[in-house]
């Protein structure tokens, strides 16, 4: 579920639509939470689906740590990638604002975290644009992304969190343990599907 102070707007003819803030949203705010209504498609289900479904699902989904394709039931699926995004995933099942977002600003995300099945070309216009976004970006940027997420979490308790009530209870307790006692941080790397697969093999 996407933050309530957002709306769908056209970006331009090349990019199409995107999600924009309708009010200022401060750094540390949950912008998206993986809530129970999200559609989860397993790798096995995906393989047997009609190609028309597969194209749409690949376009609108992200792949979670378990290899499930997650399709948002609301406008969250229209959030575009940017190589200097103002939102980033965390190890707690939500995306967080990495800086203050102004009303009217587009909300953008880091797709490199989403276990991409194939590389994507990027034309985000950032001076830091990588040109191609792929699963290999984890190796180069994983630590930077995790640092960004950890830094944003420092602001978590200082700002309004309208999406907090939709968090999974166990994840919420784990987050509170980290924020209150600085213990057992859930790193972003837990979202890497291939990392989990190799851990399973080792186990
Ligand atoms: Zn880019």
Tell me, in angstroms, the distance from the centre of ligand 1 to residue 50's CA: 31
In the structure, ligand 1 is a single-atom ion and the residues with CB under 5 Å from it are: 83, 122, 124, 129
DSSP, res 61: E
Per-residue model confidence (pLDDT) at position 200: 40
Question: 87 CA to middle of ligand 1, Å?
Answer: 14
**What are the residue ranges spanned by the domains of the chain?**
6-202
Q: How far is the CA of 183 from the centre of ligand 1 (A)?
A: 34
Ligand 1 centre distance from Cα of residue 127 (Å)? 8
- pTM, entire model: 0.92
Per-residue pLDDT of the chain (203 residues; tens, 9 = 90+): 999 999 999 999 988 999 999 999 999 999 999 999 999 999 999 999 999 999 999 999 999 999 999 999 999 999 999 999 999 999 999 999 999 999 999 999 999 999 998 999 998 999 999 999 999 999 999 999 999 999 999 999 999 999 999 999 999 999 999 999 988 999 999 999 875 544 443 33
Q: How far is the CA of 199 from the centre of ligand 1 (A)?
A: 30
How much is the pLDDT for 14? 87
Cα 72 to middle of ligand 1, angstroms: 23
Residues contacting 64, CB < 8 A, separation 6+: 34, 40, 70, 115, 191, 193
Cα–Cα distance between 93 and 71 in angstroms, integer?
14
Instruction: Using the mean position of ligand 1's atoms as its centre, give its distance from the Cα of residue 92 in Å.
Output: 25
Q: What is the pLDDT of residue 195?
A: 56
Using DSSP, state whether 101 is helix, strand or coil: strand
Tokens of 144: 């930077």
- CA 123 to ligand 1 center in whole angstroms: 5
- Cα of 125 vs centre of ligand 1, distance in Å, is 6
Two structure tokens written together for 46: 């995906």
Rounded (10°) CA dihedral 130, 188, 96, 35: 120
Tell how far the Cα of 106 is from the centroid of ligand 1, in angstroms: 14
β-sheet bridge partners, residue 87 = 97
Q: 126 C-alpha to center of ligand 1: Å? A: 6
Find all residues with CB under 8 Å of 76, minimum gap 6, and list them.
Answer: 1, 2, 19, 32
Cα distance between residue 151 and residue 132, in whole Å = 26
* C-alpha gyration radius of the chain: 16
The domain at 6-202 falls in which architecture? Beta Complex (2.170)
Q: What pLDDT shows up at residue 183?
A: 87
| CA distances from residue 147 to 131, 141, 168, 194 in whole angstroms, order as listed | 22, 10, 23, 21
């Amino acid at each position: 579920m996407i933050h309530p102070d957002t709306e769908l707007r056209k970006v331009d003819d090349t990019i199409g639509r995107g999600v924009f803030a309708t009010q200022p949203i401060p750094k540390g705010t949950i912008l998206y939470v993986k809530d129970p209504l999200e559609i989860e498609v397993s790798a096995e289900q995906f393989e047997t689906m009609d190609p028309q479904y597969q194209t749409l699902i690949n376009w609108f989904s992200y792949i979670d740590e378990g290899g499930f394709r997650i399709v948002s039931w609301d406008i969250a699926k229209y959030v575009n990638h940017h190589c200097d995004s103002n939102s980033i995933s965390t190890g707690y099942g939500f995306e967080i604002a990495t800086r203050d977002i102004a009303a009217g600003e587009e909300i953008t995300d880091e797709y490199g975290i989403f276990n991409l099945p194939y590389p994507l070309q990027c034309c985000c216009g950032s001076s830091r644009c990588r040109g191609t976004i792929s699963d290999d970006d984890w190796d180069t940027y994983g630590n930077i992304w995790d640092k960004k997420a950890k830094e944003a979490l420092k602001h978590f308790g200082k700002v309004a969190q309208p999406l907090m009530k939709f968090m999974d209870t166990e994840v919420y307790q784990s987050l509170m343990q980290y924020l209150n006692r600085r213990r057992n941080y859930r790193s972003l790397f837990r979202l890497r599907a291939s990392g989990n697969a190799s851990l399973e093999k080792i186990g």
